[in-house]
């Protein structure tokens, strides 16, 4: 009888997410491997790790070709994902999870780097093209849809036209830019619950246009 009571106790202590399937996917884009950890292309990974740390979870379960962690955010069951397929094939992981849980594109939140914005800025969009970001391109191709919300984190443009884009996005983020990204990651953490609740316009109104210079917001 004691064993039965102990079993009930363990069940009661399980995270709320286990009582049902995820309703929302939150996907950070990047490349696996320590050599890429602090490169511009890994801004999505870094932001998602910061969000996970804030909520006391760690993305360590390998599932759907991604490191994942379940989480409940304001009553919404969420699956955090860091695809391990490398950036250009990110859509494979997203499609597998979306198909398995029957999650439509509008409930898939993607966080990526953006060379069109300077460090210290972010932009939220309800949908749209990939803008040259190959992880977003892969997701669009695999989902067959552009209609998923995305958070794009500024990492700065390449210094001159002849500079190879691949070399730029795979280069390490300078310390000065990391100081500007840190408060942006905090904004991302605040935006995710709004997007998960479907409040895309609220998130855009609040965070589009925000700018940090490394110390205080303008």
| Model confidence pLDDT, tens digit, residues 160-216 | 888 999 999 999 999 999 999 999 999 999 999 999 999 999 999 999 988 887 544
Query: Is 160 assigned a catalytic role?
Result: no
Question: Does the pLDDT value for residue 1 go beyond 80?
Answer: no
* Per-residue confidence (pLDDT) for residue 210, from 0 to 100: 87
Does the pLDDT value for residue 9 go beyond 70? Answer: no
pLDDT at 87 > cutoff 90: yes
Q: What angle do CA 35, 90, 31 make, to 5 degrees?
A: 5
Determine the average pLDDT of the residues in 7-27.
62
**First-to-last C-alpha distance (Å) of the chain:** 63
Choice among 41, 55, 142, 160 that is catalytic: 41
Write the pLDDT tens digit of every residue in 53-65.
999 999 999 999 9
pLDDT recorded at residue 47: 97
What is the C-alpha separation between 97 and 134, in angstroms, rounded? 19
CATH number of 21-207: 3.40.50.1470
* Mean pLDDT of the residues in the chain: 89
**What is the mean pLDDT of the segment spanning 111-125?**
95
Q: Comparing 74-78, 93-97, 194-198, which segment has the lowest mean pLDDT? A: 74-78
| pLDDT score recorded for residue 212 | 85
> Which residue, among 101, 31, 29, has the nearest Cα to 70 in the 3D structure?
101
Beta-bridged to residue 82, according to DSSP, are: 67
> The whole model's pTM is what?
0.87
Grade residue 3 by pLDDT with cuts at 50, 70 and 90: low
What pLDDT sits at residue 74? 87
The confidence score (pLDDT) of residue 183 equals 94
Distances (CA, A) of 73 to 21, 34, 89, 126, 147: 14, 29, 27, 20, 22
């Amino acid at each position: 009888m004691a064993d039965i009571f102990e079993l009930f106790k363990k069940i009661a202590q399980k995270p709320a997410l286990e009582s049902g399937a995820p309703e929302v996917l939150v996907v950070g884009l990047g490349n696996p491997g320590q050599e890429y950890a602090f490169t511009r292309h890994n801004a999505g990974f870094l932001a998602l790790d910061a969000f996970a740390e804030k909520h006391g979870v760690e993305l360590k379960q390998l599932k759907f070709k991604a490191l994942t962690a379940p989480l409940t955010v304001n009553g919404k069951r969420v699956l955090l994902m860091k695809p391990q397929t490398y950036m250009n094939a990110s859509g494979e992981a997203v499609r597998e999870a979306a198909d398995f849980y029957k999650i439509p594109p509008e409930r898939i939140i993607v966080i990526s780097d953006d060379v069109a914005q300077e460090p210290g800025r972010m932009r939220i969009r309800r949908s749209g093209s990939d803008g040259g970001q190959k992880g977003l391109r892969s997701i669009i191709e695999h989902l067959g849809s552009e209609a998923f919300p995305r958070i794009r984190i500024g990492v700065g443009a390449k210094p001159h036209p002849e500079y190879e884009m691949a070399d730029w996005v795979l280069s390490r983020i300078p310390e000065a830019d990391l100081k500007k990204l840190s408060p942006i990651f905090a904004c991302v953490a605040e935006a995710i619950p709004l997007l998960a609740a479907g409040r895309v316009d609220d998130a855009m109104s609040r965070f589009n246009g925000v700018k940090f210079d490394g110390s205080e917001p303008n």
